[in-house]
Structure 1
Amino acid sequence: MEALEEFLRKEFYWLHRHPEVSFEEVETTAHLRSLLVESGVRVLNLPLKTGVVAEVGAGRPVMALRADIDALPITEQTGLPYQSEKTGVMHACGHDFHMASVLGATMLLREQKNLPGTVRLIFQPAEEAPGGAKLIMNTGVLDDVQAIFGLHCSPLLPVGTLGIREGAVTASVDRFLICFRGKGTHAAHPERGIDPIPVAAAFIQAAQTIVTRNIEPSEAGLVSITHVEAGNTWNVIPDEALVEGTTRCLSAETRVLIRRRIHELAEQIAAAYGAEAVTDWYEGPPATDNTQKWTALARRIAHEQNLAVEEAPTSLAGEDFAFYQERLPGCFVLTGTGASAANHNAEFRVDPCALLPTASYLAALVRASFAEYKD
């Protein structure tokens, strides 16, 4: 195991120093592909610009293990000796850790004699975009897969602890863009136009009542207005006002309700002012959905690996692993990487001491999934 740990740290440091943003992970892809081929792992020939899918074992059943590979447009401020070499790009969400951990699991699985099936190893691009999961699914490599497993590092958990929860761990993510259209006029004569700014302001206030008055109080839900734009000078009432934001929740029913209420409030408030509302909706990933069977297995294997287990904290952040779980059963686990600044922060870091136990756990989990599937 000492040699494996040295390999994992070496790869983790390299990946951390060479981050690439979504859909541009060309160097990362080449590095992973070369490493897998040199290690005797089968790499599938797929129509992917970035990202790699490989296999160990043979026959059915087929189980999948996924890591994401993209970084974020953030300038690193950790001061680590292996800090990002690219100004303005950083692995601030731990995808370098995910890749190294799944590489380690791959090496352990490759050494297994008579592996009772196939493990499909997915190094997925563009999780942060999001959308990379759909690219992978469109290749057909999941069509014969029985279950899928994924991980995310967590600065909320210490090294040696896993966060495992049945059901949702992360939230559905949607984006909306509303254009309130009025009628521009001179600021001295508002009666001659229709000012879209009060319309936008009224909507912004009303949108918060969706969570406080339309959603059952024990349900998680969020409406955040993040971008407001109108006009370009001091003495002109503009024609339009733009409002942009995001909605998050943990249940499909709440997701539908929030979307319906956003549309209703925008249209009806605009009508009350004599204006018009045009809403564009961009649907992101659903909430993750860990099934009972595979969640129970994930917990059991964690205990067998002498890892501590806590109920995973839920988050209204999104995760496009959830796209896979719309099609396949599986489990998405959190692995503790030690106290740190939050994910997506310039000072975010993970403790490399978590690499070996995470890789060992993932390999054991996938091995055990074959017997569980046959049962």
Structure 2
Amino acid sequence: MPINNRIAAFQDDMTAWRRDIHAHPELGFEENRTSDLVAAKLAEFGVTVHRGLAGTGVVGTLTGLDTGGRAVGPRTIGLRADMDALPMPEANDFDYASRHPGKMHACGHDGHTTMLLGAARYLAETRNFDGTVHFIFQPAEEGQGGGLRMIQEGLFQHFDCEQIYGLHNWPELPAGQIAVHPGPVMAAANQFEITVTGHGAHAAMPHRSIDPVLVSAHIITAAQSLVSRGTDPADSAVVSITVVDAGTAANVIPDSATLRGTMRTFSEATHRRIQEQFARLVSSIAEGLGAQAVLNFRPGYPATVNSEPEARIAASAAAKVVGAENVVWAPAPTMAAEDFGYMLKERPGAYIWLGHGGHGGPGCRLHNPRYDFNDAILTTGASYWASLVETILPRSA
């Protein structure tokens, strides 16, 4: 596997950076130590550092040079890594395990940050590209929409990017492989809450009640038809009711019940249709059983959808690192969500999956307390970033 030799030479440095970040996890919009480390490393490499977008965000800017040492080319691209950890305890006992109880890098953002730093170091040393690269280190990917906040605060106004690229490690994919989608990669997701109001009574006298638990049960059952009978089988969607909260005693029919869950789709049209059908279903079931129900949606991340030309560019750059036979083209997307979707709505680009290989055993899955990033793929990811820049912004002879 032709890993960039110059990047491979500082594998030990990247491993040390990654493990340091892993040992000091920080939640969304609290990545102060991590952003300090990122900014210091970028400055050390000779990259221009900009701070403050979305609070803890960092953007490094680097321009290529021609053979005479002059800045070249007006073209610009953005490379993005996420920095935040998850609010969950770590079950690992190695010496770089989390030092902050209840916080853990269980999704590999420590590795994502490190790989982009490694690419920045290499590109700053070589400057073998024609144009400008913006290294975007984003806070708060895990459910708080740090990518959207960076955009709202002027990311693409201050750092114009013709194209934008991201990646995520993927434990289910063997190390040494890279997966590229020519369209949807990850789903749009929102959350919903349904409040069902009836009339409480003694459980021995149910005829005197309007039972919100019974109404909720009908809603839960009927909601499954939104996908199984209301959605084209070729169009993926998920409606999951995951929380049912009602009652305090076995002999009391409560006044109300609360349901919560998530809805996920790849298509915006499908998303709107299911929302509208769900609202009618909830209202009509409650009314038919004499209760009232209020459905509220909390918008989540949009779908992460690659533009095909940029996906093909990413696949070409990946092939230079792992070989064409190890580039997995157009695998099935996942119903998980990712806020890089906001950036892809603003600029064409591609988000790839980097094979992780499940390093650490069967418990090593994303958002698992025994997850750990596979340090062996740090050079693969950094080499991919370098290859991508040199592919998109080749320096003329």
Give the equivalent residue in structure 2 for 1:332: 351
> Equivalent residues in 2 for 1:20-169 (5 A)?
20-57=26-63, 60-113=74-127, 115-143=129-157, 144-169=160-185
Are the equivalent residues in 2 in contact too, given 1:176–1:282 (CA < 8 A)?
A: yes
Letter of the aligned partner of 1:294 in structure 2? E
Letter of the aligned partner of 2:187 in structure 1? A
Letter of the aligned partner of 2:168 in structure 1? H
Give the equivalent residue in structure 2 for 1:343: 366
Deviation at 1:234, TM superposition (A): 2.6
Deviation per residue, 1:12-46 (Å, 9 max, x gap): 11111111122221211122122222222111143
Alpha carbons of 1:21 and 1:46: their partners in 2 closer, same or farther (altered >3 Å)? Answer: closer
SS in 1 for 2:185: coil
Deviation at 1:371, TM superposition (A): 5.2
Deviation at 1:209, TM superposition (A): 1.1
Unaligned stretches of 5+ residues in structure 1? none
Matched residue count = 373
Letter of the aligned partner of 2:358 in structure 1? A
Alpha carbons of 1:310 and 1:109: their partners in 2 closer, same or farther (altered >3 Å)? Answer: same
Distance, in Å, in 2 between the alignment partners of 1:135 and 1:178 is 28
Distance, in Å, in 2 between the alignment partners of 1:80 and 1:120 is 34
Q: TM-score if structure 2 supplies the norm length?
A: 0.89
Deviation per residue, 1:214-256 (Å, 9 max, x gap): 0111221111111000122233222211000001122222212
Q: TM-score if structure 1 supplies the norm length?
A: 0.94
1:195 aligns with 2:211: yes
Letter of the aligned partner of 2:57 in structure 1? G
- Identity value in percent: 38
Give the equivalent residue in structure 1 for 2:382: 359
Give the equivalent residue in structure 2 for 1:207: 223
Are the equivalent residues in 1 in contact too, given 2:365–2:371 (CA < 8 A)?
A: yes
Deviation at 1:74, TM superposition (A): 2.0
Distance, in Å, in 2 between the alignment partners of 1:231 and 1:188 is 15
Distance, in Å, in 1 between the alignment partners of 2:286 and 2:265 is 26
Distance, in Å, in 2 between the alignment partners of 1:45 and 1:89 is 24
- RMSD, aligned CA: 1.9
Give the equivalent residue in structure 2 for 1:175: 191
Letter of the aligned partner of 1:355 in structure 2? L
Deviates more, 1:178-187 or 1:77-86: 77-86
Are the equivalent residues in 2 in contact too, given 1:211–1:222 (CA < 8 A)?
A: yes
Distance, in Å, in 2 between the alignment partners of 1:345 and 1:198 is 35
Of residues 308, 317, 339 in structure 2, which corresponds to 1:320?
339
Unaligned stretches of 5+ residues in structure 2? 1-5, 64-70
Distance, in Å, in 2 between the alignment partners of 1:222 and 1:114 is 45
Give the equivalent residue in structure 2 for 1:9: 15
Distance, in Å, in 1 between the alignment partners of 2:149 and 2:125 is 30
1:309 aligns with 2:327: yes
SS in 2 for 1:178: strand
Distance, in Å, in 2 between the alignment partners of 1:269 and 1:16 is 49
Letter of the aligned partner of 1:337 in structure 2? H
Distance, in Å, in 2 between the alignment partners of 1:248 and 1:48 is 26
Letter of the aligned partner of 1:301 in structure 2? A
Distance, in Å, in 2 between the alignment partners of 1:208 and 1:192 is 30
Deviation at 1:115, TM superposition (A): 3.5
